[in-house]
């Protein structure tokens, strides 16, 4: 049963280590729980910040469509991973936060095997849901030069509260996804998404307005 994986001795030992490292003491209201399949690469000056009542469950598989996959969390020097409430990041996730940048995740946010590359800041609001194999990039990964000047600078990404992102959607740098919106499966989002609408396609365009959704 997936729930039993939380009780694995290795998971418990790792949880104690991470909570002592980042919280300085084991506070039952703020816990970092990772599966043994999660690879951690945490620079000495990086930070995982859990606000009161926050909890991170990372790398576990919790339903019949999940399966065990390797996961990875990379925090470079002075990078910050901030959680304001309980968050679930399932098995197969790959998260990278670049030097001096911040990834912030809100309350009651759920992701499957997401890929996040935070070359610049990425903020995800409360009550957001991400389907399988979603990707969020605040940079292109490699600089592009024209006459010795960089032409593809990194730009922050903001996903507001109550956003549902469908399977295999791609959200690119500089985008703000408005509160209450839905990003359809397979959409490639290259520009801002207004609140309470559905976007779909490549590039993503508004296909419905004045919508709401429930989990």
Q: Which of 15-19, 70-74, 146-150 has the highest mean pLDDT?
A: 146-150
Confidence of residue 10 (pLDDT cuts 50, 70, 90): low
pTM attached to this predicted model: 0.85
In this prediction, residues 122-130 reach a mean pLDDT of: 97
CATH architecture classification, 2-209:
3 Solenoid (2.160)
Please provide the average confidence, as pLDDT, over all residues in the chain: 86
Helices (H), the chain: 9-23
Summarize the confidence of residues 130-149 as an average pLDDT. 94
CA distance 172 to 188: 8
The structural domains of the chain, with segments of one domain joined by +, span 2-209
Which residues in 133-147 are b (16+ Cβ under 10 Å) and which e?
Answer: bbbbbbbeeeeeeee
For residues 168-183, give the mean pLDDT.
98
Catalytic residue annotation? 142
Place of tokens 């959607």: 169
Arithmetic mean of pLDDT, 177-203: 98
pLDDT in tens, 78-116: 999 999 998 888 888 999 999 999 999 999 999 888 999
Question: Taking the alpha carbons of 188, 85, 110, 17 in that order, is the dihedral positive or negative?
Answer: positive
């Amino acid at each position: 049963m997936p729930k039993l994986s939380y009780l694995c001795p290795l998971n418990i030992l790792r949880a104690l280590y991470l909570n002592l490292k980042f919280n300085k003491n084991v506070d039952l209201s703020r816990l970092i729980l990772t599966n043994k399949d999660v690879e951690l690469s945490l620079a000495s000056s990086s930070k995982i910040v859990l606000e009161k009542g926050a909890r991170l469950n990372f790398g576990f598989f919790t339903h019949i469509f999940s399966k065990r996959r390797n996961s990875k969390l990379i925090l470079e020097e002075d990078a910050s991973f901030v959680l304001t409430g309980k968050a679930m990041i399932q098995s197969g996730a790959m998260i990278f936060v670049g030097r001096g940048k911040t990834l912030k995740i809100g309350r009651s946010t759920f992701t499957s095997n997401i890929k996040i590359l935070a070359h610049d800041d990425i903020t995800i609001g409360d009550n957001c849901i991400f389907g399988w194999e979603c990707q969020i990039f605040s940079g292109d990964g490699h600089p592009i030069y024209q006459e010795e000047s960089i032409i593809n600078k990194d730009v922050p990404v903001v996903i507001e509260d109550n956003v549902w992102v469908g399977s295999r959607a791609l959200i690119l740098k500089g985008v703000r996804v408005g509160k209450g919106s839905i990003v359809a499966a397979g959409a490639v989002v290259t520009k801002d998404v207004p609140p309470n609408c559905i976007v779909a396609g490549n590039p993503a365009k508004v296909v419905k307005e004045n919508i709401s959704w429930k989990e």
